[in-house]
Amino acid sequence: MSDGYTIRFGEGGETYMTTVAAVSSVLAGWAPTEWAESWDNVGLLVGDPGAAVGRVLVALDVTDDVLDEAERLGAEMIVAFHPPLFAPLSRVRADEAESRVIWRAVAAGLALYATHTSLDSARPGTSDFLAEALGLGPTLPLRPAAEDSERGLGRLGELPAPVALGALTAAVAEVTGAAYCRLAGDPQRAVRRVAVLGGSGASFVAEAAAAGAEVLITGDAKHHDALDAERRGLALIDPGHGPSEKFVVERTAAFLAAACPEVLVDESNATVDPFARGA
């Protein structure tokens, strides 16, 4: 049995458990916290590192619905992609929207860990999952890490054959489950060289164009991003922020299940794209 593991005895016999610190260490081995962007807030954000963990819930966001799900399942830890603690809090209260989920987690004894841009920069990482789902061939980072050119933010690769932008947009919508998928570009234009960046990546328009991409697939594109892309001869496909990151949950859950066999790992069913509610 590995260091950091404890044993819980129940009516059905021994159940092996690990600790919050051990799960955190496994995640940091895949996506070290020092790989996160300087503005980000990743790693173990809430909880006792020494507390026992027998069940982990993996989610995209920490919401009230996800907290309800974790409590219903009896999970002791939530591994989320987006950090629930980002902007500094001056107080933590149950009746204030900014801090309610933190108050609830602490009150329930739930540990909260966030991967976010540390996983964006990992290999495999957030954009690898999207690239693989779209069938891109071997990829390179769109913005390589200074210390390791094999990892970094975004991915650049090629489709097996040229595809019309309209058909590619439909494929992106289907693969990501996006309620709305926007295209800035000629639907009839055939493209093959594709850049992807899960999440909010419209700031990579210039880098994608300079790298020879014909289309950038990312979330949160704005009006002026689309105009900038058009000037550079780059098409934009925007399935939305959350849908472009949807594969993070299943891939993180699969990684943890393999790396921590002593722990039950669940994929959240409560994570919902807020823009899909009105679709």
Tell which phi-psi region holds residue 269, choosing left (phi > 0), alpha (psi between -120 and 50) or beta. alpha
Q: State yes or no: pLDDT of 49 exceeds 90.
A: yes
Question: What is the pTM for the complete model shown?
Answer: 0.92
- Which domains are seen in the chain, by residue range? 6-118 (3.40.1390.30), 123-242 (3.40.1390.30)
For the stretch 155-211, pLDDT in tens is 999 999 999 999 999 999 999 999 899 999 999 999 999 999 999 999 999 999 999
For the stretch 229-241, pLDDT in tens is 999 999 999 999 9
For the stretch 213-269, pLDDT in tens is 999 999 999 999 999 999 999 999 999 999 999 999 999 999 999 999 999 999 999
- The answer to whether 238 and 218 have CB atoms below 8 angstroms apart is yes
Read off the tokens for 36: 């996160």
Tell which phi-psi region holds residue 71, choosing left (phi > 0), alpha (psi between -120 and 50) or beta. alpha
Q: In terms of pLDDT, which residue wins out, 85 or 273?
A: 85
Mean pLDDT of 12-34: 87
CA distance 2 to 111: 21
- Strands (E) in the chain, as ranges, are 6-10, 13-19, 43-46, 52-53, 55-59, 77-80, 111-114, 140-145, 148-164, 182-184, 190-200, 215-219, 235-238, 264-267
